[in-house]
Structure 1
Amino acid sequence: MRFARLIASAALSGAAVLATAAVPAQAAPQADRGPVQALCSTSSADFTVRNVSRPINHQLLTVTNTGSESCTLVKAPLLGFDNDTYVGAQAIEESAPQSVVTLAPGQSAYAGIRLSSADGSGENGRDVRTVHVFLDSGDGSEGGPDSIALPKGTWIDDSAAVTYWQSNASDALVW
């Protein structure tokens, strides 16, 4: 008798599954994720670069949202030095934060720039005077570059790299 009940129960469960599969699926309601933040652009941002004492061969790039709305920074800044027509510093993938950085008006974010190899193994070293900063949209650059004068005596080589945007300066300088 117990076996018959198990068979009947299984048959009813199977019929319920088949009946559910025959009903057209309806889309689940979208969860409210809050307002979608616009990407930051160079036209509503102020950039500065300064030397740091540690780690050696590094500078700190700071961006401040000068717009009236919050905006989001994705990935790492795209940098070109002096007359470079290409990105002159590779992104340090290991520096990717847990989430994108969102800036309210007046807030800042940071990226560490490794200028050259600490052991001197980098090639094509040269003095540079200017860095051109593009903001990554996830599919390339967002807007035109912002050109910034670099501190006097800035030296780069082929090992130049930049971190992803970070919410605080100390995280940007770990890499």
Structure 2
Amino acid sequence: MRRTRSLLAVTALTALALTACENGTGTRDEGASALPETPSTSASAPASAPAAPADGGTTTPAKNGNKDGNKDGTKDGTKDNAKGGSKTPAPATRVLCNGSTTKVTAQPVPRPLNHLLLTVTNTGSKTCDLTYYPVLRFDEMQWVPRAAEETHPQAVVTLAPGESGYAGVLLSAADGSGDGGTTAEKLTVAFQGMTPNSDGGASATPALPAAGVYYDSSLTVTYWQQDREDALSW
């Protein structure tokens, strides 16, 4: 029995030795140590570049979501206030007409009777406004002649450089009903501002005829008019 076991052990050892000699490594090759396959593409190769546009141009990254990549975000890269664009002109400056920007004359007229025509000509470089009516003072009179309300114009009289405006003055009643008549040798014309009876600037002192002009309590003045005929039609 013991001899039989010894023979079996020798036989097993001999089989193991023969197997080791077959693969040359002293261990049995089970195929687990096969080398991995070499990849066809290197892992460090860069990613493929983006495809070129169909029209052959280059692609510029858009800024601020703009398709064309313009800096200011407009489609054609132009600015809204580009040089050379049209600009709305500033409105022209208008001033008040007064003695510093106009020439004033006072001329007696044959018709209507007892009337004086005031003419104001813009001698400045800017358009001016003749507001309300002239405030008259003959010599050193202490009262202000009234204005004829029926002559109130629909719009302020505006004079461009070189243009003239007018006002008519009723000096005395044609039927002699006025009182306190006297002859004046000097006339001062004051201008009103943008509100009634406000100061409109420098006054004017147009020359009167050498003999002076006669006036009485009927003294009345019109509002400034754009046309000469309107100033003398009442």
Instruction: Please say whether Structure 1 and Structure 2 have the same fold, judged by a TM-score greater than 0.5.
Output: yes
Aligned residue number for residue 88 of structure 2: none
- Structure 2 distance, partners of 1:117, 1:141, is 30
Give the 3-state SS of the residue equivalent to 2:206 in structure 1: strand
Give the conservation status (yes or no) of the 8 Å contact 1:78–1:141. Answer: no
Q: Could you tell me which runs of 5 or more consecutive residues in structure 2 were left unpaired when the two chains were aligned.
A: 1-90
Q: Does 1:76 align with 2:133?
A: yes
Give the 3-state SS of the residue equivalent to 1:94 in structure 2: helix
TM-score normalized with structure 2 length: 0.57
- Structure 2 distance, partners of 1:79, 1:44, is 18
Q: Could you tell me which runs of 5 or more consecutive residues in structure 1 were left unpaired when the two chains were aligned.
A: 1-33
Larger Rg: 2
What number of residue pairs does the alignment pair up? 141
Q: Which one has a larger percent helix, Structure 1 or Structure 2?
A: 1
Match of 2:114 among 48, 57, 61: 57
- Structure 2 distance, partners of 1:71, 1:169, is 18
Match of 2:230 among 152, 163, 171: 171
Give the conservation status (yes or no) of the 8 Å contact 1:97–1:164. Answer: yes
AA aligned to 1:49 is A
Aligned residue number for residue 163 of structure 2: 107
- Structure 1 distance, partners of 2:143, 2:128, is 26
Moved over 3 A (4+): none
CA drift at 1:149: 2.2
- Structure 1 distance, partners of 2:142, 2:92, is 36
- Structure 2 distance, partners of 1:50, 1:108, is 14
RCO higher in structure (CA 8 A, sep ≥6): 1
* 1:21-41 superposed Cα distances (whole Å, 9 cap, x missing partner): xxxxxxxxxxxxx55632212
- Structure 2 distance, partners of 1:82, 1:171, is 27
Match of 1:141 among 199, 206, 224: 199
AA aligned to 2:183 is D
- Structure 2 distance, partners of 1:81, 1:141, is 19
Distance 1:144 1:82, change over 3 A: same
* 1:91-137 superposed Cα distances (whole Å, 9 cap, x missing partner): 11110111110000110000000001111111110011111000111
Aligned-pair identity in percent equals 47
TM-score normalized with structure 1 length: 0.76
Give the 3-state SS of the residue equivalent to 1:141 in structure 2: coil
CA drift at 1:143: 1.7
Give the 3-state SS of the residue equivalent to 1:43 in structure 2: coil
